[in-house]
Amino acid sequence: MKKQSELKYKEFWNERYQDPAFAYGKEPNIFFKEQIEKLKPGTILLPADGEGRNGVFAAKLGWDVTAIDLSKEGQRKALQLASEQLVSINYVVDDIEKVELPDKSFDAIALIYAHFSSWKIHVIHQKLARLLKPGGLVIFEAFSKNHIKYQEIDSRAGGPKDVDMLFSPEQIRADFEGFEIQVLEEQKIVLNEGVFHKGTGSVIRFSGKKRSY
């Protein structure tokens, strides 16, 4: 059952990214942009980076970017965007849960609308915490559980329709226990990212620094 679900998930994103237009635009996520511009460039991991808008922006700032996504079409679009912007990124087509990367190898990890199957979320977050260097930063924005009511009003708001794939501040606090919280808030925002993030939505924003002990 889980394998069938993952296959459908992969097919869904390949189909979405086949269109020549960029599904969520070419500009970086606003919260990601605000946070990443405060940091000294280093190594950054972007799971579920899709068509690469955030990874390419980080590369333009001088970051050494590794992006991971299930979608081959996403990779194609991301490399196209990187070429347009005259930068390079390392884009791996794989499942973040299965890919092998050294612990403590990234200065930052960005999870921007990285919604995973409900049975994988906690495991993936714990894995990502291990991949981050002590003192490294997690930058996170994704739909909150309250986003469901906005989807019911306007389907253009996007996001999973399964509430178990959405987030709460308490869940993020628990998943990234041991992090020094810089930002953790639920916000009602106006989405304007490409075709599929439009209108009013509810998001969780989190910025957390991995403690050194």
Handedness of CA 32, 127, 113, 59 (dihedral sign): positive
What's the pTM value of the predicted model, to 2 decimals? Answer: 0.95
pLDDT at 7: 73
Tokens 């069938």 belong to 4
pLDDT, residue 1, reads 45
pLDDT given for residue 176 in this prediction: 97
**Residues 174, 182: Cα–Cα separation, whole Å:** 15
The predicted structure's pLDDT at residue 117 = 87
Q: Which residues, 6 or more positions from 197, have their beta carbon under 8 angstroms from its beta carbon?
A: 24, 113, 156, 157, 158, 191
Adjacency order of strands within the sheet including 197-210? 90-93, 64-69, 43-47, 106-112, 132-143, 197-210, 179-193
CA distance 45 to 58: 10
pLDDT of 212 reads 86
Structure tokens at 98: 């299965």
Contact yes or no for 209/180 (Cβ under 8 A) = yes
- Residues 169/143, Cβ–Cβ less than 8 Å: no
CB 118 within 8 A of CB 165: yes
Query: What is the predicted pLDDT for the residue at 209?
Result: 98
Residue ranges in the chain whose pLDDT is less than 70: 1-5, 213
Candidates 57, 48, 41; CA nearest to 106 is 41
Residue closest to 205 by CA, chosen among 67, 8, 32, 10? 32
Q: Per the structure block, which two tokens stand in for 171?
A: 């869940």
Go through the chain and tell me how many residues it has: 213
Q: How far apart are CA 187 and CA 209, in angstroms?
A: 21
Domains in the chain, please, with CATH?
2-210 (3.40.50.150)
